[in-house]
């Protein structure tokens, strides 16, 4: 017998968005209720995440936030629950998480 566990998240459960710099791997977290104030550059190495005098990335994430709010209102008005299915973690991530929980390190 095979068992499968799926993970879902509802829009109201999203409390923040995390942005990670691919250059230095520092990250910043933006609360979902303050999603209109997105970072335009890395907080650590100042790598630009958006070209000066453009707003393509900023606008795309603003549209994402607005679309999520509209989808939630639409779902609520129709008495349904809308949720997103999350990708299953890789085996390596699961093993690392288990090791960390049990106190095993690679030191």
The three-state (H, E, C) secondary structure of 63-107, written as one string: HHHHHHHHHHHHHHHCCCCCEEEECCCCHHHHHHHHHHHHCCCCC
What is the model's pTM? 0.61
Q: CA–CA separation, 91 vs 97, rounded Å?
A: 10
Query: What pLDDT band is residue 103 in, cutting at 50, 70 and 90?
Result: low
In degrees and rounded to multiples of 5, residue 81 shows phi and psi of: -110, 125
Q: Residue range 14-32: average pLDDT?
A: 89
Q: Residue range 41-60: average pLDDT?
A: 80
pLDDT tens-digit readout, 1-12? 788 788 998 988
Q: Is it the case that residue 99 has pLDDT exceeding 60?
A: no
Pick the closest to residue 11 from 54, 90, 49, 64 (CA basis): 64
Q: Residue range 58-70: average pLDDT?
A: 84
Domain ranges in the chain are: 7-102
């Amino acid at each position: 017998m095979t068992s499968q566990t799926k993970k879902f998240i509802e829009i109201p459960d999203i409390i923040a968005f995390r942005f990670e710099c691919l250059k230095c791997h520092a990250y910043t977290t933006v609360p979902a209720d303050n999603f209109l104030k997105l970072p335009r550059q890395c907080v650590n190495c100042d790598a630009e995440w958006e070209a000066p005098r453009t707003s393509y990335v900023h606008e795309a994430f603003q549209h994402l936030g607005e679309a999520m709010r509209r989808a939630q209102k639409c779902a609520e008005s129709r008495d349904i629950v809308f949720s997103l299915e999350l990708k299953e973690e890789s085996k390596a991530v699961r093993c690392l998480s288990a090791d960390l929980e049990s106190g095993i390190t690679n030191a």
